[in-house]
Amino acid sequence: MTCDSASNWQCGLHRTRTMLTVLGGLAEFERELIRARTGEGRKRAKARGVRFGRPAALTPHQRAEALQRLANGEVQADLARSYGVSQATISRLQA
């Protein structure tokens, strides 16, 4: 395509689209490389026994104790305050 002064803005538009297409392709390729590297890293970490995710708010002993206290009729809000967790955490124990 030749660019004369009358269609100069169209030439700029085509160049811009081409540049954005190329940059988009490079970004997609880089994202795939990142995804592959992080996936491999997660596999190696799991093989070493690393646990992912947020740590538990209550120990297994505290969970069992809280469930027993709930069964004895204590209120969830009081239990949550005594363990220093939210009421939602105590509520999830019963689910």
For residues 26 and 3, state if they share a domain.
yes
Is 0.75 topped by the overall pTM? no
For residues 75 and 48, state if they share a domain.
no
Of 11 and 72, more confident: 72
For residues 39 and 64, state if they share a domain.
no
Q: Which residue has the tokens 């093989």?
A: 47
For residues 1 and 47, state if they share a domain.
yes
pLDDT band at 50 (very low <50, low <70, confident <90, very high): very high
For residues 35 and 80, state if they share a domain.
no
For residues 46 and 88, state if they share a domain.
no
Those residues with Cβ within 8 angstroms of residue 69's Cβ, 6 or more apart along the chain or in another chain:
79
Instruction: Write out the residue range of the structural domain in which residue 67 sits.
Output: 60-94
Q: Per residue in 73-92, pLDDT tens?
A: 999 999 999 999 999 999 99
Distance from C-alpha of 80 to C-alpha of 56, rounded to nearest angstrom? 14
For residues 2 and 35, state if they share a domain.
yes
For residues 8 and 42, state if they share a domain.
yes
